[in-house]
Amino acid sequence: MDKNVDFEQSLAQLEKTVSLLESGDELTLEESLKAFEDGIRFARLCRQTLDDAELRIQQLTEDGEEPFDGLKDEKLDQI
């Protein structure tokens, strides 16, 4: 699997793989196992990307500020 594949591509591939496995199409056992393995890889890549994003958000808000909180009431009074 290409490490440069972005989150959206990985998620789309995961959804496609899940649909294939759930569809009941006539896959051989070997094809089903291969699709399952691919799905696991895409799921792990998505999870890692989400974990990395969460860490970045935590690092950006370490100074105690609330993320996406908007202006506090006291700051609104000053405007």
Domain count, the chain: 1
Q: Is residue 16 part of a domain?
A: yes
pLDDT at 32: 95
Task: Return per-residue pLDDT of the chain as tens, 79 residues.
Answer: 455 579 999 999 999 999 999 998 889 999 999 999 999 999 999 999 999 999 999 999 887 666 565 555 556 566 5
pLDDT at 25: 81
Pair of tokens at residue 76: 């609104």
pLDDT at 34: 97
Q: Is residue 11 part of a domain?
A: yes
Q: Is residue 1 part of a domain?
A: no
* pTM for this model (two decimals): 0.69
User: How far is Cα 39 from Cα 30, in angstroms, rounded to an integer?
Assistant: 14
Distances (CA, A) of 67 to 29, 40, 53, 57, 60: 47, 31, 13, 8, 9
Q: Is residue 2 part of a domain?
A: no
Q: Is residue 56 part of a domain?
A: yes
Taking the alpha carbons of 30, 34, 39, 40 in that order, is the dihedral positive or negative? Answer: positive
- Residue 64 lies in domain: 7-78
The residue with tokens 């895409």 is 42
pLDDT at 47: 98
pLDDT at 24: 80
